[in-house]
Structure 1
Amino acid sequence: MQRAIIGFHQDEENHWVAELECGHGQHVRHDPPWMIREWVTTEQGRVSRTGTQLECRRCDEEQ
């Protein structure tokens, strides 16, 4: 289920987590070559993604 990003925080290992409108979180790592998300490495990049949609697996599981 698609949910909007409303913010970000770092977990205990300093990985970025997108906070979704449903209350769930999803890691958004930049881990080349497997995961390319350079935008997550800067505050400006993260702010630019606020409001965009991510697939929330936890919401999918709850249905």
Structure 2
Amino acid sequence: MNQPIVGYHLDEYQDWVADLACGHGQHVRHQPPMTSRPWVLTEEGRRAHLGTILNCKKCDGEG
């Protein structure tokens, strides 16, 4: 189910997790070359992606 990002927090390993409107979280790691999300490394970048829609696998029953 598509959900917008409403905030962020760091997990216990210091990886960024997007807080979704549904109440679930989803990791938004920057781990090149597998995943390129350099925007997650700065506060400005994270703020610019608030409202971005992510597919919540937990809402879909997959997580």
TM-score by length of 1: 0.96
2:27 alignment counterpart: 27
Distance in 2 (CA, whole Å) between partners of 1:49 and 1:55 is 14
State the percentage of identical aligned residues: 56
Q: Which runs of 5+ in 2 are unaligned?
A: none
SS of the residue corresponding to residue 58 of structure 1 reads coil
2:5 alignment counterpart: 5
Superposition RMSD on alpha carbons, in Å?
1.0
Distance in 1 (CA, whole Å) between partners of 2:52 and 2:36 is 17
Q: Which runs of 5+ in 1 are unaligned?
A: none
Post-superposition CA distance 1:30-54 (Å, at most 9, x none): 0000000000000000000001100
Question: Structure 2 matches for 1:1-63, cutoff 5 A?
Answer: 1-61=1-61
Higher helix fraction (1 or 2): 1
TM-score by length of 2: 0.96
Q: How many residues align?
A: 62
